[in-house]
Amino acid sequence: MFSRDFTSLFFGRLLNGLASAMFVAPSIAAASLIVSEELVGKSLSYRSAAVSLGALVGPILGGYLVDYVSYTMAFALAAFLSLLNAIVCIVFHLKTHGRSRFPLEKEKGSWRDAINPTVLLFTVTSFVSGLAFFTFRSLLQSQYKDLGYPSSLYGLLIACFSAITMILRIISPRVLDNGIRRLFVISAICYFVVGLGSIVLSWAYTYPEAYIPVAFYGVGFGFLVPAVQSIISMSTTKNVRNRAMTIYAMGSDLGGFVGGIILGYVAQIYGYELAYMLIGLLLMIDPVLVLLYLRRMKTVDISPH
């Protein structure tokens, strides 16, 4: 909000990224720990739907504030909402203190216990999907700036994406609540759909054609996130679930970090279209890995012990 040069903006984004990293994985784990085992999938789906609801309103509001008021006002609103969110979390913690279902410190497992083949698989696949999410959330925004589009236009695309994911995540418990093998198949299909969306984005990036790849992204990520989180939850015990979710989230964060460097360079030297096509082709590796692992599951027990 107070940034006036690249250095201050960099440190502001660094703090923002640190806060997000500290919040995402624990919030996913919490959603799976505060309910009974049979309701974990539904809890994770509704949590993801709430995130999509925020992402539906935020980009539109932020885009119009940037275009018609200022960046400072947009950042100030974001800071206020973050503070409000922190207060809600503190109040909830104080009210549930002593009655929580979270594991006690002495009950928590080790990092080694949290790392199993399933967690490692989806850490790798989330690294590649993190590249794709960066492509959509940052690279496309940079291209729209270069094309001279207003910020509100990009905000509408993000809102469309968020609306699709929110609707799908609300209904996802009915689709995903049919065993872990079905979840693997759904996640493989979703990775393929997201990859296809990136390929389509390489030629349909202008407005309003961009709504086509946005639909692919929305459908793919709409089911993908709760499906993968449910798989990790089902393949780990409660005492290591937070750490397992942290490892999984780390893959996505690293994908976004690497994407910012490599894909940004590719876009600058060879064009945005090649960057979109490249990430789309890389994403096709994910469904192959998931299906190969699913085939291996037929002879190997992956359930937590």
- The pLDDT tens digits for 23-53 are 766 676 676 666 666 666 677 777 777 777 7
**Rounded percentage of the chain residues whose pLDDT exceeds 90:** 25
Say how many C-beta atoms besides its own lie within 10 A of residue 179's C-beta. Answer: 10
Q: With 90 as the cut, is the pLDDT of residue 174 above it?
A: no
Query: What does the domain layout of the chain look like in residue ranges?
Result: 6-297
pLDDT tens for residues 195-226? Answer: 999 999 999 999 889 999 999 999 999 899 88
pLDDT tens for residues 62-88? Answer: 777 777 777 778 778 888 888 888 888
Can you give the pLDDT at residue 285? 93
Nearest Cα residue to 31 out of 283, 244, 252, 230? 230
Can you give the pLDDT at residue 101? 54
Q: Does the CA dihedral 304-248-179-296 come out positive or negative? A: negative
**Alpha carbon of 250 to those of 75, 126, 256: distances in Å?**
25, 9, 10
- Structure token digits, residue 298: 């037929």
Q: Tell me which of 263 and 190 has the higher pLDDT.
A: 190
Is 232 exposed, middle or buried, given 0-12, 13-18 or 19+ CB atoms closer than 10 A?
buried
Can you give the pLDDT at residue 305? 46
- Structure token digits, residue 150: 């207003």
Q: Tell me which of 66 and 153 has the higher pLDDT.
A: 153
Q: Tell me which of 284 and 48 has the higher pLDDT.
A: 284
Q: Say how far apart CA 74 and CA 138 lie, in whole Å.
A: 17
Can you give the pLDDT at residue 103? 53
Q: Say how far apart CA 214 and CA 225 lie, in whole Å.
A: 16
What is the CATH code of the structural domain delimited by 6-297? 1.20.1250.20
271 — pLDDT class (breaks 50, 70, 90): very high
What is the model's pTM?
0.78
Q: Say how far apart CA 153 and CA 94 lie, in whole Å.
A: 41
